[in-house]
Structure 1
Amino acid sequence: MQGPSIILDNVGLQYGDNTILHGINHTFEAGQCHVVMGPNGGGKTSLLRSILGLTPFAGNIDICWGSKKGKVGYVPQKAVFESSLPLTVMDFILLNQSRTPLFWSRWRNLSKQQATALEQLDRVGMAERAERRMGQLSGGEQQRVLFAQALLDNPDLIVLDEPTTGMDEQGVRYLEALILELVAEGKTLLAVHHDVSAVRRLDAKVHVVNRTLIDSGSVADVLTPEKVERLFNHYTSQTEVMGEIAREQAA
Protein backbone atom coordinates (compact mmCIF):
# COMPACT_ATOMS: atom_id res chain seq x y z
CA MET A 1 0.00 0.00 0.00
CA GLN A 2 1.36 3.39 -0.99
CA GLY A 3 1.38 6.22 1.51
CA PRO A 4 -1.18 9.01 1.17
CA SER A 5 -1.02 12.42 -0.40
CA ILE A 6 -1.89 15.38 1.84
CA ILE A 7 -3.90 18.33 0.53
CA LEU A 8 -3.91 21.64 2.41
CA ASP A 9 -6.67 24.10 1.55
CA ASN A 10 -6.24 27.63 2.96
CA VAL A 11 -4.82 26.28 6.23
CA GLY A 12 -4.29 28.79 9.01
CA LEU A 13 -3.58 28.73 12.72
CA GLN A 14 -3.88 31.52 15.23
CA TYR A 15 -3.41 31.77 19.00
CA GLY A 16 -5.14 34.91 20.20
CA ASP A 17 -3.69 37.78 18.18
CA ASN A 18 -0.66 35.73 17.13
CA THR A 19 -0.79 34.33 13.59
CA ILE A 20 1.15 31.07 13.40
CA LEU A 21 0.11 29.92 9.91
CA HIS A 22 -1.71 31.76 7.20
CA GLY A 23 -3.29 30.84 3.87
CA ILE A 24 -1.36 27.65 3.07
CA ASN A 25 -2.55 25.89 -0.09
CA HIS A 26 -0.39 22.95 -1.04
CA THR A 27 -0.24 19.24 -1.85
CA PHE A 28 2.32 16.82 -0.44
CA GLU A 29 2.52 14.08 -3.05
CA ALA A 30 2.09 10.43 -2.10
CA GLY A 31 4.99 8.04 -1.62
CA GLN A 32 7.70 10.68 -1.30
CA CYS A 33 9.88 12.25 1.37
CA HIS A 34 8.86 15.83 2.12
CA VAL A 35 11.01 18.08 4.30
CA VAL A 36 9.61 21.24 5.90
CA MET A 37 12.25 23.89 6.61
CA GLY A 38 12.23 27.49 7.77
CA PRO A 39 13.26 29.84 10.56
CA ASN A 40 12.58 29.24 14.24
CA GLY A 41 9.06 30.26 15.14
CA GLY A 42 7.93 30.05 11.52
CA GLY A 43 5.22 27.46 12.21
CA LYS A 44 6.90 24.24 11.02
CA THR A 45 5.92 22.10 14.01
CA SER A 46 2.48 23.72 14.13
CA LEU A 47 1.92 22.63 10.54
CA LEU A 48 2.82 19.03 11.39
CA ARG A 49 0.57 19.06 14.46
CA SER A 50 -2.27 20.43 12.35
CA ILE A 51 -1.85 17.62 9.81
CA LEU A 52 -1.89 15.09 12.67
CA GLY A 53 -5.04 16.67 14.11
CA LEU A 54 -3.28 17.58 17.36
CA THR A 55 -4.16 21.28 17.24
CA PRO A 56 -7.18 23.22 15.95
CA PHE A 57 -6.72 25.01 12.65
CA ALA A 58 -8.67 26.93 10.04
CA GLY A 59 -9.18 25.68 6.50
CA ASN A 60 -9.12 22.03 5.48
CA ILE A 61 -6.54 19.23 5.51
CA ASP A 62 -7.32 16.09 3.53
CA ILE A 63 -5.18 12.97 3.94
CA CYS A 64 -5.96 10.98 0.81
CA TRP A 65 -5.54 7.31 1.69
CA GLY A 66 -6.82 5.75 -1.51
CA SER A 67 -8.81 2.51 -1.19
CA LYS A 68 -8.53 2.23 2.61
CA LYS A 69 -7.25 4.26 5.52
CA GLY A 70 -3.68 3.48 6.49
CA LYS A 71 -1.68 3.92 9.65
CA VAL A 72 0.31 6.90 10.91
CA GLY A 73 3.62 6.88 12.76
CA TYR A 74 4.80 9.98 14.63
CA VAL A 75 8.19 10.87 16.08
CA PRO A 76 8.06 13.99 18.29
CA GLN A 77 10.97 16.37 18.57
CA LYS A 78 12.05 14.97 21.90
CA ALA A 79 10.88 13.10 24.96
CA VAL A 80 12.10 13.32 28.54
CA PHE A 81 12.85 10.16 30.55
CA GLU A 82 14.03 10.32 34.15
CA SER A 83 17.31 8.45 34.64
CA SER A 84 15.93 6.81 37.79
CA LEU A 85 12.84 5.44 36.00
CA PRO A 86 13.26 1.62 35.72
CA LEU A 87 12.02 1.55 32.13
CA THR A 88 14.30 -0.18 29.65
CA VAL A 89 14.34 0.36 25.91
CA MET A 90 12.64 -3.04 25.45
CA ASP A 91 10.01 -2.15 28.08
CA PHE A 92 9.26 1.09 26.25
CA ILE A 93 8.83 -0.65 22.90
CA LEU A 94 6.67 -3.40 24.39
CA LEU A 95 4.47 -0.81 26.12
CA ASN A 96 3.73 0.68 22.72
CA GLN A 97 3.32 -2.70 21.03
CA SER A 98 0.87 -4.39 23.36
CA ARG A 99 -2.23 -3.43 25.32
CA THR A 100 -1.26 -6.00 27.94
CA PRO A 101 -0.08 -4.33 31.18
CA LEU A 102 3.70 -4.35 31.27
CA PHE A 103 4.02 -6.18 34.59
CA TRP A 104 2.09 -9.14 33.10
CA SER A 105 4.94 -9.63 30.65
CA ARG A 106 6.95 -11.28 33.44
CA TRP A 107 4.47 -14.17 33.35
CA ARG A 108 3.63 -14.38 29.66
CA ASN A 109 5.45 -15.55 26.57
CA LEU A 110 6.33 -12.37 24.68
CA SER A 111 8.92 -13.86 22.37
CA LYS A 112 7.06 -12.79 19.20
CA GLN A 113 6.58 -9.22 20.45
CA GLN A 114 10.18 -9.05 21.61
CA ALA A 115 11.38 -10.26 18.21
CA THR A 116 9.34 -7.54 16.51
CA ALA A 117 10.69 -4.95 18.92
CA LEU A 118 14.29 -6.04 18.32
CA GLU A 119 13.72 -5.96 14.57
CA GLN A 120 12.66 -2.32 14.66
CA LEU A 121 15.40 -1.39 17.15
CA ASP A 122 17.94 -2.99 14.82
CA ARG A 123 16.74 -0.76 11.98
CA VAL A 124 17.83 2.28 13.98
CA GLY A 125 20.97 0.69 15.40
CA MET A 126 19.66 0.33 18.96
CA ALA A 127 19.11 -3.43 19.35
CA GLU A 128 22.27 -3.82 21.43
CA ARG A 129 20.92 -1.27 23.93
CA ALA A 130 17.57 -2.99 24.42
CA GLU A 131 18.18 -3.57 28.14
CA ARG A 132 19.48 -0.07 28.87
CA ARG A 133 17.21 2.30 30.76
CA MET A 134 15.61 4.96 28.59
CA GLY A 135 16.77 7.66 31.00
CA GLN A 136 20.39 6.53 30.63
CA LEU A 137 20.43 7.05 26.86
CA SER A 138 21.64 10.22 25.20
CA GLY A 139 19.04 12.49 23.62
CA GLY A 140 20.01 11.25 20.16
CA GLU A 141 19.70 7.60 21.22
CA GLN A 142 16.26 8.29 22.67
CA GLN A 143 15.24 9.77 19.32
CA ARG A 144 16.33 6.59 17.59
CA VAL A 145 14.20 4.53 19.98
CA LEU A 146 11.21 6.82 19.34
CA PHE A 147 11.70 6.24 15.61
CA ALA A 148 11.72 2.46 16.17
CA GLN A 149 8.52 2.77 18.22
CA ALA A 150 6.83 4.73 15.43
CA LEU A 151 7.54 1.90 12.97
CA LEU A 152 5.91 -0.87 15.05
CA ASP A 153 2.58 -0.79 13.19
CA ASN A 154 4.22 -0.53 9.75
CA PRO A 155 2.73 2.94 9.13
CA ASP A 156 2.02 4.28 5.66
CA LEU A 157 2.44 7.94 6.71
CA ILE A 158 5.40 8.81 8.94
CA VAL A 159 5.65 12.28 10.49
CA LEU A 160 8.99 13.33 11.99
CA ASP A 161 9.61 16.50 13.99
CA GLU A 162 13.35 17.27 13.95
CA PRO A 163 14.21 13.53 14.01
CA THR A 164 18.00 14.00 14.30
CA THR A 165 17.92 16.30 17.37
CA GLY A 166 20.89 15.46 19.58
CA MET A 167 22.15 12.66 17.33
CA ASP A 168 25.75 11.90 16.55
CA GLU A 169 26.88 11.31 12.98
CA GLN A 170 26.30 7.56 13.20
CA GLY A 171 22.72 8.06 14.34
CA VAL A 172 22.06 10.56 11.56
CA ARG A 173 23.37 8.11 8.96
CA TYR A 174 21.19 5.29 10.35
CA LEU A 175 18.10 7.46 10.03
CA GLU A 176 18.97 8.72 6.57
CA ALA A 177 19.37 5.16 5.31
CA LEU A 178 16.10 4.17 6.97
CA ILE A 179 14.21 7.12 5.49
CA LEU A 180 15.42 6.19 2.00
CA GLU A 181 14.37 2.59 2.64
CA LEU A 182 10.89 3.63 3.77
CA VAL A 183 10.38 5.86 0.73
CA ALA A 184 11.45 2.96 -1.50
CA GLU A 185 8.64 0.96 0.14
CA GLY A 186 6.15 3.60 -1.06
CA LYS A 187 5.54 5.29 2.28
CA THR A 188 4.93 9.03 2.60
CA LEU A 189 7.33 10.81 4.95
CA LEU A 190 6.85 14.34 6.24
CA ALA A 191 9.69 15.75 8.34
CA VAL A 192 10.71 19.03 9.89
CA HIS A 193 14.47 19.33 9.44
CA HIS A 194 17.05 22.08 9.90
CA ASP A 195 20.25 20.46 8.57
CA VAL A 196 20.70 21.62 4.98
CA SER A 197 23.47 19.10 4.25
CA ALA A 198 21.39 16.20 5.55
CA VAL A 199 18.37 17.27 3.50
CA ARG A 200 20.54 17.43 0.39
CA ARG A 201 21.62 13.82 1.01
CA LEU A 202 17.98 12.74 1.29
CA ASP A 203 17.17 14.35 -2.07
CA ALA A 204 13.70 15.11 -0.73
CA LYS A 205 11.05 17.58 -1.79
CA VAL A 206 11.67 20.74 0.23
CA HIS A 207 8.93 23.06 1.47
CA VAL A 208 9.93 26.31 3.18
CA VAL A 209 7.43 27.63 5.72
CA ASN A 210 7.52 30.97 7.52
CA ARG A 211 3.90 31.41 8.65
CA THR A 212 2.95 30.90 5.03
CA LEU A 213 4.44 28.73 2.28
CA ILE A 214 7.50 30.55 0.95
CA ASP A 215 8.98 28.06 -1.50
CA SER A 216 8.56 24.45 -2.60
CA GLY A 217 10.38 22.14 -4.96
CA SER A 218 13.36 19.88 -5.39
CA VAL A 219 16.54 20.20 -3.34
CA ALA A 220 18.31 21.63 -6.39
CA ASP A 221 15.65 24.32 -6.87
CA VAL A 222 15.03 25.33 -3.24
CA LEU A 223 18.39 24.89 -1.51
CA THR A 224 20.44 27.14 -3.75
CA PRO A 225 23.22 29.15 -2.06
CA GLU A 226 21.23 32.37 -2.42
CA LYS A 227 18.09 30.90 -0.86
CA VAL A 228 19.91 29.05 1.91
CA GLU A 229 21.46 32.33 3.03
CA ARG A 230 17.96 33.65 3.69
CA LEU A 231 16.46 30.39 4.94
CA PHE A 232 17.33 30.87 8.61
CA ASN A 233 17.28 34.66 8.50
CA HIS A 234 13.55 34.93 9.17
CA TYR A 235 12.96 35.78 5.52
CA THR A 236 13.07 39.52 6.02
CA SER A 237 12.34 39.81 2.31
CA GLN A 238 8.84 38.50 3.07
CA THR A 239 7.74 41.66 4.90
CA GLU A 240 5.17 42.33 2.23
CA VAL A 241 3.56 38.95 2.92
CA MET A 242 3.44 39.60 6.65
CA GLY A 243 2.14 43.10 6.04
CA GLU A 244 -0.70 41.57 4.06
CA ILE A 245 -1.50 39.26 6.98
CA ALA A 246 -1.59 42.23 9.36
CA ARG A 247 -3.90 44.16 7.04
CA GLU A 248 -6.26 41.19 6.82
CA GLN A 249 -6.34 40.88 10.61
CA ALA A 250 -7.14 44.56 10.94
CA ALA A 251 -9.94 44.39 8.37
Structure 2
Amino acid sequence: MSVGPQIEIANLELQYGENHILSNINHSFEAGKCHVVMGPNGGGKTSLLRSILGLTPFKGQIDILWNDATNNGKPGSVGYVPQKAMFEQSLPLTVMDFILLNLTRSPLFWRKRQQDKAFALTQLERVGMANRADRRMGQLSGGEQQRVLFAQALLDNPDLLVLDEPTTGMDEQGVRYLESLIHEFVAQGKTVLAVHHDVTAVRRLDAQVHVVNRILVDSGHHSDVLIPEKIERLFNHYSHAPIAAKQHEVA
Protein backbone atom coordinates (compact mmCIF):
# COMPACT_ATOMS: atom_id res chain seq x y z
CA MET A 1 0.00 0.00 0.00
CA SER A 2 1.26 3.46 -0.87
CA VAL A 3 1.95 5.78 2.04
CA GLY A 4 2.84 8.69 -0.20
CA PRO A 5 0.15 10.95 -1.66
CA GLN A 6 -1.41 11.19 -5.08
CA ILE A 7 -1.25 14.69 -6.55
CA GLU A 8 -4.15 15.98 -8.64
CA ILE A 9 -3.82 19.13 -10.76
CA ALA A 10 -6.75 20.78 -12.53
CA ASN A 11 -6.66 23.81 -14.84
CA LEU A 12 -3.34 25.06 -13.50
CA GLU A 13 -2.34 28.47 -14.85
CA LEU A 14 0.68 30.47 -13.73
CA GLN A 15 2.00 33.76 -14.98
CA TYR A 16 4.30 36.53 -13.81
CA GLY A 17 3.05 39.80 -15.21
CA GLU A 18 2.47 39.22 -18.92
CA ASN A 19 4.71 36.16 -18.98
CA HIS A 20 2.73 32.92 -19.08
CA ILE A 21 4.73 30.21 -17.32
CA LEU A 22 2.22 27.33 -17.20
CA SER A 23 -1.03 26.97 -19.13
CA ASN A 24 -3.95 24.57 -18.71
CA ILE A 25 -2.13 21.80 -16.83
CA ASN A 26 -4.49 18.92 -16.00
CA HIS A 27 -2.66 15.94 -14.59
CA SER A 28 -2.37 13.29 -11.90
CA PHE A 29 0.81 12.06 -10.26
CA GLU A 30 0.24 8.52 -9.02
CA ALA A 31 0.98 7.72 -5.37
CA GLY A 32 4.01 5.65 -4.44
CA LYS A 33 5.99 6.32 -7.63
CA CYS A 34 9.06 8.26 -8.67
CA HIS A 35 7.96 11.09 -10.96
CA VAL A 36 10.47 13.18 -12.88
CA VAL A 37 9.55 16.49 -14.50
CA MET A 38 11.70 17.28 -17.53
CA GLY A 39 11.75 19.87 -20.28
CA PRO A 40 13.72 22.80 -21.71
CA ASN A 41 15.05 25.67 -19.61
CA GLY A 42 12.30 28.20 -18.96
CA GLY A 43 9.59 25.64 -19.61
CA GLY A 44 8.07 25.91 -16.12
CA LYS A 45 9.47 22.83 -14.36
CA THR A 46 10.48 24.56 -11.11
CA SER A 47 7.32 26.69 -11.20
CA LEU A 48 5.26 23.49 -11.28
CA LEU A 49 7.04 22.15 -8.20
CA ARG A 50 6.68 25.46 -6.37
CA SER A 51 2.97 25.53 -7.19
CA ILE A 52 2.48 22.04 -5.76
CA LEU A 53 4.34 23.09 -2.60
CA GLY A 54 2.24 26.25 -2.30
CA LEU A 55 5.28 28.51 -2.67
CA THR A 56 3.93 30.59 -5.54
CA PRO A 57 0.44 31.90 -6.40
CA PHE A 58 -1.41 30.18 -9.24
CA LYS A 59 -4.86 29.75 -10.73
CA GLY A 60 -6.58 26.38 -10.75
CA GLN A 61 -6.69 23.53 -8.26
CA ILE A 62 -3.94 21.35 -6.75
CA ASP A 63 -4.88 18.59 -4.31
CA ILE A 64 -2.40 16.45 -2.40
CA LEU A 65 -4.40 13.33 -1.54
CA TRP A 66 -2.93 11.55 1.47
CA ASN A 67 -3.68 7.93 2.24
CA ASP A 68 -6.03 8.05 5.24
CA ALA A 69 -5.37 4.44 6.17
CA THR A 70 -1.63 4.95 6.64
CA ASN A 71 -1.66 8.52 7.97
CA ASN A 72 -4.60 8.25 10.41
CA GLY A 73 -6.51 10.81 8.40
CA LYS A 74 -3.77 13.42 8.77
CA PRO A 75 -1.54 14.91 6.07
CA GLY A 76 1.85 13.22 5.82
CA SER A 77 5.16 15.05 5.96
CA VAL A 78 6.89 16.67 3.00
CA GLY A 79 10.63 16.89 2.37
CA TYR A 80 11.93 19.53 -0.06
CA VAL A 81 15.37 20.02 -1.58
CA PRO A 82 15.67 23.31 -3.53
CA GLN A 83 17.89 23.63 -6.57
CA LYS A 84 20.70 25.18 -4.57
CA ALA A 85 21.38 27.29 -1.51
CA MET A 86 24.10 29.81 -0.81
CA PHE A 87 26.08 29.83 2.44
CA GLU A 88 28.65 32.51 3.26
CA GLN A 89 32.08 31.03 3.91
CA SER A 90 32.48 33.21 6.98
CA LEU A 91 29.20 32.06 8.53
CA PRO A 92 30.10 29.96 11.62
CA LEU A 93 27.45 27.36 10.88
CA THR A 94 28.67 23.78 10.70
CA VAL A 95 26.95 20.93 8.90
CA MET A 96 25.86 19.50 12.27
CA ASP A 97 24.58 22.93 13.38
CA PHE A 98 22.50 23.18 10.22
CA ILE A 99 20.92 19.76 10.66
CA LEU A 100 20.24 20.28 14.37
CA LEU A 101 18.70 23.68 13.71
CA ASN A 102 16.26 22.08 11.28
CA LEU A 103 15.69 19.06 13.49
CA THR A 104 14.86 20.76 16.78
CA ARG A 105 13.62 24.16 15.51
CA SER A 106 15.31 25.68 18.58
CA PRO A 107 18.22 28.15 18.89
CA LEU A 108 21.70 26.70 18.44
CA PHE A 109 22.87 27.93 21.85
CA TRP A 110 20.34 25.66 23.56
CA ARG A 111 21.86 22.45 24.81
CA LYS A 112 21.35 19.72 22.23
CA ARG A 113 20.49 16.26 23.41
CA GLN A 114 22.86 13.48 22.45
CA GLN A 115 20.02 11.57 20.83
CA ASP A 116 19.36 14.55 18.54
CA LYS A 117 23.01 14.58 17.50
CA ALA A 118 23.00 10.82 16.95
CA PHE A 119 19.88 11.06 14.79
CA ALA A 120 21.36 13.97 12.81
CA LEU A 121 24.55 11.99 12.23
CA THR A 122 22.51 9.03 10.98
CA GLN A 123 20.84 11.22 8.36
CA LEU A 124 24.21 12.61 7.29
CA GLU A 125 25.51 9.06 6.94
CA ARG A 126 22.66 8.30 4.53
CA VAL A 127 24.04 10.91 2.12
CA GLY A 128 27.73 10.21 2.80
CA MET A 129 28.34 13.43 4.73
CA ALA A 130 28.86 12.21 8.32
CA ASN A 131 32.61 12.80 7.97
CA ARG A 132 31.91 16.47 7.14
CA ALA A 133 29.72 17.14 10.19
CA ASP A 134 32.18 19.64 11.71
CA ARG A 135 32.83 21.53 8.46
CA ARG A 136 31.30 24.94 7.92
CA MET A 137 28.48 24.91 5.38
CA GLY A 138 30.17 27.71 3.44
CA GLN A 139 33.34 25.63 3.05
CA LEU A 140 31.57 22.77 1.27
CA SER A 141 31.39 22.40 -2.49
CA GLY A 142 28.04 23.02 -4.15
CA GLY A 143 27.46 19.28 -4.54
CA GLU A 144 28.28 18.64 -0.87
CA GLN A 145 25.85 21.37 0.17
CA GLN A 146 23.17 19.64 -1.91
CA ARG A 147 23.84 16.39 -0.06
CA VAL A 148 23.41 18.17 3.29
CA LEU A 149 20.17 19.74 2.07
CA PHE A 150 19.03 16.25 1.11
CA ALA A 151 19.87 15.00 4.63
CA GLN A 152 17.84 17.90 6.06
CA ALA A 153 14.87 16.85 3.90
CA LEU A 154 15.02 13.35 5.42
CA LEU A 155 14.65 14.53 9.03
CA ASP A 156 10.86 14.13 9.23
CA ASN A 157 10.88 10.83 7.32
CA PRO A 158 8.75 12.41 4.58
CA ASP A 159 6.01 10.58 2.69
CA LEU A 160 6.37 13.07 -0.19
CA LEU A 161 9.86 14.03 -1.30
CA VAL A 162 10.17 16.99 -3.69
CA LEU A 163 13.54 17.58 -5.36
CA ASP A 164 14.49 20.45 -7.68
CA GLU A 165 17.56 19.47 -9.74
CA PRO A 166 18.95 17.57 -6.73
CA THR A 167 22.22 16.46 -8.36
CA THR A 168 23.42 19.96 -9.31
CA GLY A 169 27.17 20.06 -8.71
CA MET A 170 27.27 16.55 -7.24
CA ASP A 171 30.06 14.11 -7.92
CA GLU A 172 29.35 10.52 -8.96
CA GLN A 173 29.41 9.27 -5.37
CA GLY A 174 26.83 11.85 -4.29
CA VAL A 175 24.58 10.92 -7.20
CA ARG A 176 24.75 7.24 -6.17
CA TYR A 177 23.73 8.09 -2.58
CA LEU A 178 20.79 10.13 -3.83
CA GLU A 179 19.57 7.55 -6.32
CA SER A 180 19.82 4.78 -3.71
CA LEU A 181 17.67 6.80 -1.32
CA ILE A 182 15.08 7.53 -4.01
CA HIS A 183 14.81 3.81 -4.76
CA GLU A 184 14.45 3.17 -1.02
CA PHE A 185 11.63 5.72 -0.71
CA VAL A 186 9.69 4.29 -3.63
CA ALA A 187 10.13 0.74 -2.28
CA GLN A 188 8.43 2.00 0.91
CA GLY A 189 5.45 3.26 -1.09
CA LYS A 190 6.39 6.93 -0.80
CA THR A 191 5.96 9.49 -3.55
CA VAL A 192 8.96 11.23 -5.11
CA LEU A 193 8.60 14.25 -7.40
CA ALA A 194 11.79 15.63 -8.94
CA VAL A 195 12.98 18.00 -11.62
CA HIS A 196 15.88 16.36 -13.45
CA HIS A 197 17.75 16.95 -16.71
CA ASP A 198 19.92 13.82 -17.02
CA VAL A 199 18.19 11.29 -19.26
CA THR A 200 20.52 8.45 -18.26
CA ALA A 201 19.98 9.12 -14.56
CA VAL A 202 16.21 9.23 -15.01
CA ARG A 203 16.33 5.81 -16.67
CA ARG A 204 18.29 4.45 -13.70
CA LEU A 205 15.54 5.75 -11.41
CA ASP A 206 12.94 3.79 -13.43
CA ALA A 207 10.84 6.95 -13.27
CA GLN A 208 7.56 8.13 -14.67
CA VAL A 209 8.48 11.10 -16.87
CA HIS A 210 6.38 14.23 -17.38
CA VAL A 211 7.66 16.71 -19.98
CA VAL A 212 6.60 20.29 -19.29
CA ASN A 213 7.08 23.12 -21.76
CA ARG A 214 4.52 25.64 -20.48
CA ILE A 215 1.96 22.94 -21.17
CA LEU A 216 2.19 19.23 -20.41
CA VAL A 217 3.73 17.87 -23.60
CA ASP A 218 4.07 14.17 -22.79
CA SER A 219 3.79 11.79 -19.87
CA GLY A 220 4.44 8.12 -19.19
CA HIS A 221 7.09 5.60 -18.18
CA HIS A 222 10.58 6.66 -19.20
CA SER A 223 10.78 3.74 -21.63
CA ASP A 224 7.86 5.24 -23.57
CA VAL A 225 8.76 8.93 -23.30
CA LEU A 226 12.56 9.07 -23.47
CA ILE A 227 13.00 7.38 -26.83
CA PRO A 228 15.35 8.79 -29.50
CA GLU A 229 12.65 9.75 -31.97
CA LYS A 230 10.88 11.85 -29.30
CA ILE A 231 13.68 13.44 -27.28
CA GLU A 232 14.70 16.24 -29.66
CA ARG A 233 11.10 17.39 -30.10
CA LEU A 234 10.28 17.14 -26.41
CA PHE A 235 13.14 19.38 -25.37
CA ASN A 236 12.76 22.11 -27.98
CA HIS A 237 12.17 25.53 -26.51
CA TYR A 238 8.62 26.78 -26.31
CA SER A 239 7.25 28.81 -29.19
CA HIS A 240 3.85 30.37 -29.64
CA ALA A 241 3.15 28.01 -32.52
CA PRO A 242 0.82 25.13 -31.62
CA ILE A 243 2.65 22.17 -30.11
CA ALA A 244 2.01 19.01 -32.07
CA ALA A 245 2.19 16.66 -29.12
CA LYS A 246 -1.11 15.91 -27.48
CA GLN A 247 -1.45 16.84 -23.83
CA HIS A 248 -1.83 13.68 -21.78
CA GLU A 249 -3.76 12.94 -18.66
CA VAL A 250 -2.69 10.01 -16.52
CA ALA A 251 -5.28 8.36 -14.35
Normalised to the residue count of structure 2, the TM-score between the two structures is 0.92
Residue ranges of structure 2 left out of the alignment (5+ in a row): 69-73, 245-251
**1:180 aligned to 2:186?**
no
2:163–2:194 contact (8 Å) kept in structure 1: yes
**1:54 aligned to 2:60?**
no
Moved more, 122-131 or 227-236: 227-236
SS of match in other structure, 1:240: coil
| Pairs within 5 Å for 1:88-237 | 88-104=94-110, 108-234=111-237
- Identify which of 70, 81, 86 aligns with 1:75: 81
Higher helix share: 1
Separation (CA, whole Å) in 1 of partners of 2:235 and 2:131: 37
Residue ranges of structure 1 left out of the alignment (5+ in a row): 243-251
SS of match in other structure, 1:158: strand
Separation (CA, whole Å) in 2 of partners of 1:134 and 1:175: 19
RMSD (CA atoms): 1.4
TM-superposed CA distance for 1:229, in Å, is: 2.1
TM-superposed CA distance for 1:241, in Å, is: 4.0
TM-superposed CA distance for 1:239, in Å, is: 2.3
Deviations along 1:61-87, one digit per CA (max 9) or x if unpaired, are: 000012121111100000000111111
Q: Which amino acid aligns with 2:242?
A: E
Q: Which amino acid aligns with 1:189?
A: V
Count residues with an aligned counterpart. Answer: 238
TM-superposed CA distance for 1:231, in Å, is: 3.4
Q: Which amino acid aligns with 2:7?
A: I
TM-superposed CA distance for 1:230, in Å, is: 2.6
Moved over 6 A (4+): none
SS of match in other structure, 1:163: coil
